[in-house]
Structure 1
Amino acid sequence: MYKVAIVGAGNVGASLASRLLREDSVSKIKIYDTSDRFEAVYKDLADESVVVKAKPSLIKCKSIEDILDSEVVVTTIKANYDYRDYAPEDLRVVGIEKDFPRIKEFATFLARKKYEGKILNVSNPVDIVTKLISDYAENDKVYGFGMSMDVYRAKRFLAEAANVKPDSVDITIVGEHGDTMVPLYSSAKIYNQPIESFNLNLEEIKNKLRMHGASIVKVLGYTRFAPASAILEDVKFLLGMKDKSLMSVKFKDVYLGLPLYNKNGIIEPEIPRMTMKEFEDFEKSYEKLKKIYEKIKLSS
């Protein structure tokens, strides 16, 4: 039985806790938050735990130190912003300079306490924040959520375009969780047939994929339900309950999205086969993330 901690009980953090209440393999769900609304969020979740006859214990952490015995810590650290005030292309990078001190403080706390469990970062820009946490937490078991969500969305868009079920679509996406993401259409398949044989407008789907999250956030101010469910799947992977996922991981001197595999209890990334054009786009994604990270480090 596993313990999972959630740092930040906002829209996504609270929704993840709700999903975890239904998981038999989790013994404790620990939630830590410093906002004024946390008490009310906790009460609501505690009520739900009775409704769903939850097996995990729901624990409201009084101190950040209470999370340290968890196998996985999910962090959603982010200041409150009204994302509807920003241009769609800027939504994932909103506030990184403002958030940096809090991210650094949290990560250095983990380093000071020598936390050796797995850390799953959810905060955007995912690849940059995940790299920051890894550096300051001095922990090589840090992963970033986002690319798996892009895959789920791509499966839906491709399935709708081809008039098939999403489960029939197999696709990998690498690079940034953002504008320079690279869908690997060369290896994508529908019902085990090459995707090119379906005569779809793949470039249009790629552009739709890049802007889809923003189209939701511009109206609601957040995404919530799908990310929480997808994060749960990534948590299961980190706990060894799934064989494959796709997350932001260390690549050279940055973090970016790559397929991950559980091999005898060891998580290993894999660089998939790409065409020359796909690899060039992957390199562009890498270069973009490297420049952003260097800029943030210089200004900190």
Structure 2
Amino acid sequence: MAISKIFIAGAGNIGASCAEVMARKQLGHAHLYDINEDFAAGQVMDINQASPSFGSDTLVHACASIDDLEGSDVVVVAAGVARHAGMSRLDLLQQNRKIVGGIGASIMSYCPHAKVLLITNPVDVLTWYLKDRWPSMNVFGLGCSLDALRFRFFIAEATGTSVNSVAGTVIGLHNNNMVPLVSYATAGGVSIRHMLTESEIEVVINKTKEAGTAIVSKLISRSGFYAASNTIAEIIESMVFNKRAVFPLSIYCNGEFGHHDICLALPAVVGDGGIHRIITYDLDREERRMLDVCADEMKRIIGSLRK
């Protein structure tokens, strides 16, 4: 299935940076929308005027209305309130649920068959919210894809190897209960358990879990966006070119690891149809326990939303 129109809702740091990376990689016709029409238009002008520097004739289009969703093949939802210093991602739930819900209603009106990649935090809860409200929506969240990128960076740093030689992923939830899969992490094809001590591995895990908060504590009034926007572009690229790359995306569970009717970040094969299948690993006892903790947390949050 050919993907031609990609709609990005939210022209803030993540949305605009994602559009820039997509133009640089020539991934298709990106359309950038923001509730502040002039702001989106300004971001698009800036991105397009940079195109000669990266030799791309793929331009980003500014959208004047949410109605421009019509005909979209992929929708990236990056609109919402960003985390500031001292805030958790869950603190954003009530405000961002309203924003995401409004965009969801527009998606179902103008492009109900589009593949929807949700970025807005708390991403796992809001992915569940959209899927629960509109069961037919083909929605999946960024999940732990950004965390997996950070996990690989910190492994490379600790082992003194190239990031290109590191494999590693993270599942569960995009919060401090995330589950970095140490049992499947390698550098140069060698398990990190043969290269690092247990205490060194613990440092890598803690750095991965605390990376987002550490960035926000330095930026104060906004959160990071470079790593996120590049991760999003990689996911889009896998859809556009049907690469079948694997990302730990937030998906609605239908029995994976024994869980139902909640959203967890699990390794997903991504191609032109969106998620083609979910990969289930043989987890060790501690990894399975930690994943169950994530599931219990999701159930508790869902329960509070249904009251």
| Same fold, TM-score > 0.5, yes or no | yes
Within the candidate set 194, 199, 217, 1:197 is matched to 194
Residues 134 and 142, structure 1, Cα contact 8 Å, conserved in 2: yes
Distance 1:108 1:99 in 2: 14
Distance 1:262 1:231 in 2: 12
Which residue of 2 is the match for residue 285 of structure 1?
294
Residues 72 and 119, structure 1, Cα contact 8 Å, conserved in 2: yes
Corresponding position: 1:171 with 2:172 = no
Residues 71 and 239, structure 1, Cα contact 8 Å, conserved in 2: no
Q: CA deviation at 1:114?
A: 5.5
Q: 5 Å matches for 1:217-296? A: 217-220=216-219, 221-246=222-247, 247-251=249-253, 252-262=260-270, 267-296=276-305
Q: Which amino acid aligns with 1:206?
A: I
Unaligned runs of at least 5 residues, structure 1: none
Q: 5 Å matches for 1:2-81? A: 2-26=4-28, 28-35=29-36, 37-79=39-81
Q: CA deviation at 1:198?
A: 1.1
Within the candidate set 136, 152, 155, 2:152 is matched to 155
Q: Which amino acid aligns with 1:225?
A: Y
1:129 is paired with a residue whose SS is helix
Within the candidate set 178, 183, 186, 1:186 is matched to 183
Q: Which amino acid aligns with 2:306?
A: K
Unaligned runs of at least 5 residues, structure 2: 254-259
Residues 143 and 249, structure 1, Cα contact 8 Å, conserved in 2: yes
Residues 22 and 30, structure 2, Cα contact 8 Å, conserved in 1: yes
Distance 1:240 1:141 in 2: 19
List 4+ stretches of structure 1 deviating above 4 A: 262-266
Residues 29 and 58, structure 1, Cα contact 8 Å, conserved in 2: yes
Which residue of 1 is the match for residue 103 of structure 2?
106
Is the alpha carbon distance of 1:52 and 1:217 closer, same or farther for their aligned partners in structure 2, counting shifts above 3 Å?
same
Which residue of 2 is the match for residue 207 of structure 1?
206
**RMSD (Å), alpha carbons:** 2.1
Q: Which amino acid aligns with 1:216?
A: I
Distance 1:32 1:264 in 2: 23
Percentage of pairs with the same residue: 26
Which residue of 1 is the match for residue 257 of structure 2?
none
Residues 140 and 251, structure 2, Cα contact 8 Å, conserved in 1: yes
Size of the aligned set, in residue pairs, is 292
Is the alpha carbon distance of 1:124 and 1:148 closer, same or farther for their aligned partners in structure 2, counting shifts above 3 Å?
same
Which has the larger displacement, 161-170 or 44-53?
Answer: 44-53
Is the alpha carbon distance of 1:42 and 1:297 closer, same or farther for their aligned partners in structure 2, counting shifts above 3 Å?
farther
2:292 is paired with a residue whose SS is helix
Q: CA deviation at 1:43?
A: 2.4
Residues 97 and 296, structure 1, Cα contact 8 Å, conserved in 2: no
Distance 2:297 2:134 in 1: 23
1:167-215 CA deviation, whole Å, 9 max, x = no partner?
2222121100111111111222222222211133212211111111111
